[in-house]
Amino acid sequence: MSDLAYLFHGFAVAITPFNLGLMLLGIVLGVIIGVLPGLGAANGIAILLPLTFTMPPTSAIIMLSCIYWGALFGGAIASILFNIPGEPWSVATTFEGFPLAQQGRAGEALTTSFTSSFVGALVAVVMITFLAPLIARFALKFGPPEYFSVYLLTFCSFVGMGKGSPAKILASMMLGFALSAVGIDIVTGGLRLTFGFTSLLKGFDFLIAVIGLFGIGEILLSMEEGLTFKGASARINPKVVLETWRKLPRYWLTFIRSTIIGCWMGITPGGATPASFMSYGAAKKFSKDGDKFGTGVVEGLVAPETAAHAAGTSALLPMITLGIPGSPTAAVLLGGLLIWGLQPGPLLFAEKPEFVWGLIASMYLGNVVGLIVVLSLVPAFAAILRIPFSIIAPVIVVICAIGAYTVNNSMHDIWFMLGFGVVGYLFKKLNYPLAPMVLALVLGNNAEDSFRQAMLMSGGSLAILWSNWLVGSISTLAMIMLFWPLIAQGLRKLVPSKPDKLSSEQPVD
């Protein structure tokens, strides 16, 4: 109960006009940072960190964490409107969000995505409030085998996604793995697959691939179909928010499942990006409309956004309680704590309660403020699609180029992005699915590292993936997800249901 008292004290701290102003400023900056691809939240916070030295630590963290919330919200905007994910965890948002926008339902897509983000984040904050110390210990159980099993689970919940040629799905995914292997091999410290080019030293960052494949590729396709963006007919409907809200409660199951996936991935700390993919994959597997995913299904937009925000928020939990950064952004915030003279870690709750609870209170308020800000801007964002193609197209190319450059501060990456654009155009026209390639690029490296670390631990034996209840149950769950279509079929045969019988009998008749 004393915790609750602290929390209310925290609200009192956060609600001073000065802090509220910082909150608003942080949200707006965050949304801008989130919209511009490449200028990630980690970057944004790192850049503004030195400016906060002269503020009291609580105000500083309020502003910086609000940048984080803003960026989480903002990442969805460019993904939905232009198929350019502003942040890594927004990639899965493009799968349904962009088709929706093309159908002239951009306002609905934006509202859905912001609302889902809010729900995910809110549940995660509530969890942090009441369960922080308890859950934090759980994160410590994650060693290399556990990490690998989480990545495996992400892959397994995602494979079998696309229809069409298995050879092409396989080629696309393996291409992603191959490209993710370029650069430094963390385990041996040596270079690999760089063929002596210094421009390949840093490997292929998947953001560059995604900006090219999706952003540039989409522009080329739009161009082929005439000088329009298909969403140009989007009408501006000020009531779109309320209308969308009326429909959302029917996806309650997706909300719950995605929140659980997100919170769990945030704590473990798999992070927001795997969480969004995993949640999207799970939604597709378990949804009645699973076949229609990829053509603009609202449920498929709810899933990744809810999970990404639940994960992004709970990633701050290990940071506060253990001093472990759960994400790059949290790592920068952690550095900030040190500079303000605070020591993150298990003792922070006891030593600086006013700071910790001020931060938690600001999470509640920041999210509410953020939601109000972005929702009120939905019509404005949707209106961007009405800008004529011949203005917006070159601007998108410029934004893509800036985004590709800022990832690594490297000019080569702009060329790579252009190359990926051509690949995206060709692949899309030849029905090679892009999603498996992107997923492999995102997780390939991490999955390989943790696998090889696990193998170093076990002396090359795969049994380590079932060596304790935690890793064993995640690995088993992964296998179930992988063979889910077969299992579902088997279940149907064992327990024949009425409609199934009918459909199988009809041809005979």
- Which parts of 237-276 interact with another protein (CB under 8 A)? none
Q: Which is nearer to another protein, 42 or 301 (CB)?
A: 42
Q: Which is nearer to another protein, 296 or 336 (CB)?
A: 336
449 binds another protein, rule: CB under 8 A: yes
User: Which residue in 17, 341, 499, 507 binds another protein (CB under 8 A)?
Assistant: 341
Strand partners of residue 192: 183
Based on the number of CB atoms within 10 Å of its own CB, is 497 exposed (0-12), middle (13-18) or buried (19 or more)? exposed
Q: Which is nearer to another protein, 107 or 318 (CB)?
A: 318
Closest of 381, 396, 76 to residue 212, by C-alpha: 396
Residues 105, 31: Cα–Cα separation, whole Å = 21
323 binds another protein, rule: CB under 8 A: yes
197 binds another protein, rule: CB under 8 A: no
433 touches 172 (CB < 8 A)? yes
User: Which residue in 23, 30, 31, 43 binds another protein (CB under 8 A)?
Assistant: 43
Residues in contact with another protein, counted by CB under 8 A, come to a total of 110
Closest of 436, 457, 400 to residue 215, by C-alpha: 400
User: Which residue in 103, 165, 467, 476 binds another protein (CB under 8 A)?
Assistant: 165
Q: Which is nearer to another protein, 405 or 483 (CB)?
A: 405
Q: Which is nearer to another protein, 170 or 480 (CB)?
A: 170
Strands 191-192 and 183-184: antiparallel
User: Which residue in 27, 31, 39, 317 binds another protein (CB under 8 A)?
Assistant: 39
Angle at 41 (CA atoms; ends 402, 366), nearest 5 degrees: 135
Cβ 412 to another protein shortest distance, Å: 10
Among 194-202, 231-239, 242-250, 271-279, the segment contacting another protein (CB under 8 A):
194-202
Residues 370-429 that bind another protein (CB under 8 A): 388-391, 393-395, 397-398, 401-402, 405-406, 408-411, 414-415, 418, 421-422, 425-427, 429
Among 68-76, 126-134, 174-182, 229-237, the segment contacting another protein (CB under 8 A):
174-182
466 binds another protein, rule: CB under 8 A: no
Long-range CB pairs of 417-420 (<8 Å, 24+ gap) are 417/208, 417/211, 417/212, 417/216, 418/212, 418/216, 419/212, 420/208, 420/209, 420/211, 420/212, 420/213, 420/216, 420/217
355 binds another protein, rule: CB under 8 A: no
Which amino acid appears at position 206 of this protein?
F
Residues 48-67 that bind another protein (CB under 8 A): 49-51, 53-54
Q: Which is nearer to another protein, 54 or 503 (CB)?
A: 54
118 touches 378 (CB < 8 A)? no
Q: Which is nearer to another protein, 9 or 202 (CB)?
A: 202
Residues 324, 336: Cα–Cα separation, whole Å = 13
Residues 50, 44: Cα–Cα separation, whole Å = 11
Cβ 389 to another protein shortest distance, Å: 8
Burial 434-470 (b: 16+ CB within 10 A, else e): bbbbbbbbbbbbbbbbbbbbbbeeeeeeeebbebeeb
Cβ 508 to another protein shortest distance, Å: 32
Q: Which is nearer to another protein, 240 or 330 (CB)?
A: 330
Closest of 95, 151, 167, 437 to residue 270, by C-alpha: 151
Which residue reads 């080329």 in tokens? 220
Cβ 325 to another protein shortest distance, Å: 6
Among 39-47, 108-116, 297-305, 354-362, the segment contacting another protein (CB under 8 A):
39-47
